[in-house]
């Protein structure tokens, strides 16, 4: 990358107002197979957060992994726990060690920390979602650094979010952060797996994440103790950047990755934000619901009025329904080709949709009764997902538009 590119990248950050940042640290960055928790990494993070917060008022939310890995060390377990019970036990033991390390590190910088352990239910249930967001914002208003982890002691494989990259993306949206920084054991996204190919080149800037780039990241190694890899980080960046927020993926082993990212230094990979979508918080919550219970397929006419007319989804335009869901569950909306273009909160159960699909409102009233509302998904409960460009992905290393 040329010096001009570095200057442009710095100019990009100078031109943005960064008020709130979500920083995610993975297990590969925080823990080691033999030494356990890397407290030096946490101390470096605390120093950078305190410096930026004190100097410019930037607020930070930390999403952390490492509880299970830290618990393994304390319990004397050499291999990854394979049973749910053992994973949850390791998480319970390791979470106290993890939080004690964060507390010590931030107290040395005159900052207090607060712990939040979240599950997917906290993002799917609207009331719990708002409560969690309000708690985080209250902590920030009092100068306290929220330290967030998934509640691995109660989350089973069936209900886990998958990895903390996805959790960081959801938290970024929840708190309205202006930047997400993913700290990993790699120096960013590369053209090949740098662990296997010496000629792999770092990709300094990604204009847009598309399917081809996602496939490229799918084969990249990212440590042995974490649950995610580069593909999961790029998936998280894809979601966050689509809503107008930039993402930096870089090494957590660097001396000052957080400060360098804020200054626009040539580190890691910057994923550029897409044009900001003016969406209310509820619409963004719907779009990023982590567990979708079913899919409703619509005809071309319904697709057009949903995309272009801002209308509600009526049963007449529905051609198929998949999955089992209840009123109030999150569902996807796809066209006949199977492309998901919207997401919403269903006002009907899947059984009701299956019975009434393709029928006019008058027929529906006779079948299901007058009590059921006419809209399967009301327009206030529907959000259109960002559309993928038809042209192939462009990666820019020397200029930012």
Residue 258 located in a structural domain: yes
Other Cβ atoms closer than 10 A to 140: 19
Query: What is the spatial distance between Cα 347 and Cα 328, in angstroms, rounded to a whole number?
Result: 6
State the pLDDT at residue 315.
94
CATH number, domain at 296?
Answer: 2.30.130.10
State the pLDDT at residue 281.
61
Stated pTM of the model: 0.73
Query: What is the spatial distance between Cα 207 and Cα 395, in angstroms, rounded to a whole number?
Result: 6
State the pLDDT at residue 387.
62
State the pLDDT at residue 280.
57
State the pLDDT at residue 138.
94
State the pLDDT at residue 129.
82
State the pLDDT at residue 160.
54
Residues 164, 259 within the same domain: yes
Residues 175, 302 within the same domain: no
Boundary of a domain, candidates 278, 306, 326: 278
Query: What is the spatial distance between Cα 79 and Cα 82, in angstroms, rounded to a whole number?
Result: 8
DSSP label at residue 80? P
Query: What is the spatial distance between Cα 332 and Cα 5, in angstroms, rounded to a whole number?
Result: 39
Residue 392 located in a structural domain: no
Residue 285 located in a structural domain: no
Tally the domains of the chain.
2
Residues 126, 266 within the same domain: yes
CATH number, domain at 176?
Answer: 3.40.1160.10
Query: What is the spatial distance between Cα 58 and Cα 50, in angstroms, rounded to a whole number?
Result: 9
Residue 264 located in a structural domain: yes
Residues 342, 260 within the same domain: no
State the pLDDT at residue 163.
73
Residues 186, 124 within the same domain: yes
Residues 361, 248 within the same domain: no
Residues 199, 268 within the same domain: yes
Residues 211, 343 within the same domain: no
Query: What is the spatial distance between Cα 289 and Cα 103, in angstroms, rounded to a whole number?
Result: 31
Residues 65, 151 within the same domain: yes
Residue 401 located in a structural domain: no
Residues 263, 201 within the same domain: yes
Note down the domain range covering 320: 292-384
Residue 284 located in a structural domain: no
* Below-70 pLDDT ranges, the chain: 1-7, 34-35, 126, 154-162, 218-228, 276-282, 288-290, 387-401
* Residues in the chain, total: 401
Residues 235, 362 within the same domain: no
Residue 59 located in a structural domain: yes
Residues 241, 323 within the same domain: no
**Strands of 330-334's sheet in order across:** 318-323, 294-298, 330-334, 340-345, 382-384
State the pLDDT at residue 399.
36
Residue 360 located in a structural domain: yes
């Amino acid at each position: 990358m040329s010096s001009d590119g570095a200057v442009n990248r710095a100019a990009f950050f100078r031109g943005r107002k960064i008020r709130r940042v979500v920083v995610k640290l993975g297990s590969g960055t925080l823990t080691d197979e033999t030494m356990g928790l890397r407290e030096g990494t946490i101390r470096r993070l605390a120093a950078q957060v305190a410096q930026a917060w004190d100097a410019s008022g930037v607020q930070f939310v930390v999403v952390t992994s490492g509880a299970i890995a830290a618990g393994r060390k304390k319990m004397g377990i050499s291999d990854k726990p394979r049973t749910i019970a053992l994973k949850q036990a390791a998480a319970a033991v390791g979470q106290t060690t993890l939080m004690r390390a964060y507390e010590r590190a931030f107290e040395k910088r005159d900052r207090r920390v607060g712990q939040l352990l979240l599950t997917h239910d906290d993002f799917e249930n609207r009331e719990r979602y708002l409560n969690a967001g309000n708690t985080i914002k209250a902590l920030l208003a009092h100068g306290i650094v929220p330290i967030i982890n998934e509640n691995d002691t109660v989350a089973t494989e069936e209900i886990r979010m998958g990895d903390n990259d996805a959790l960081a993306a959801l938290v970024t949206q929840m708190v309205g952060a202006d930047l997400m920084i993913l700290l990993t054991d790699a120096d960013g996204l590369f053209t090949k797996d740098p662990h296997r190919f010496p000629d792999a080149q770092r990709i300094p800037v990604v204009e847009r994440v598309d399917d081809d780039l996602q496939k490229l990241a799918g084969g990249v190694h990212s440590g042995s103790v974490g649950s995610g890899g580069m593909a999961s980080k790029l998936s998280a960046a894809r979601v966050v950047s689509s809503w107008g927020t930039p993402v930096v993926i870089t090494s957590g082993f660097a001396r000052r990755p957080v400060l360098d990212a804020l200054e626009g230094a040539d580190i890691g990979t910057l994923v550029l934000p897409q044009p900001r979508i003016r969406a209310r918080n509820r619409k963004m919550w719907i779009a990023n619901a982590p567990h979708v219970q079913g899919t409703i397929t619509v005809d071309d006419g319904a697709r057009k009025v949903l995309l272009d007319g801002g209308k509600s989804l009526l049963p007449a335009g529905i051609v198929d329904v998949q999955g089992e869901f209840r009123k109030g569950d999150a569902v996807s909306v796809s066209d006949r080709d199977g492309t998901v273009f919207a997401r919403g909160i269903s006002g009907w159960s899947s059984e009701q949709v299956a019975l009434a699909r393709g029928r006019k409102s008058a027929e529906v009233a006779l079948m299901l009764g007058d009590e059921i509302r006419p809209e399967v998904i009301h327009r206030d409960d529907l959000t259109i997902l960002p559309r993928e460009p038809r042209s192939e992905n462009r990666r820019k290393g020397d200029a930012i538009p």
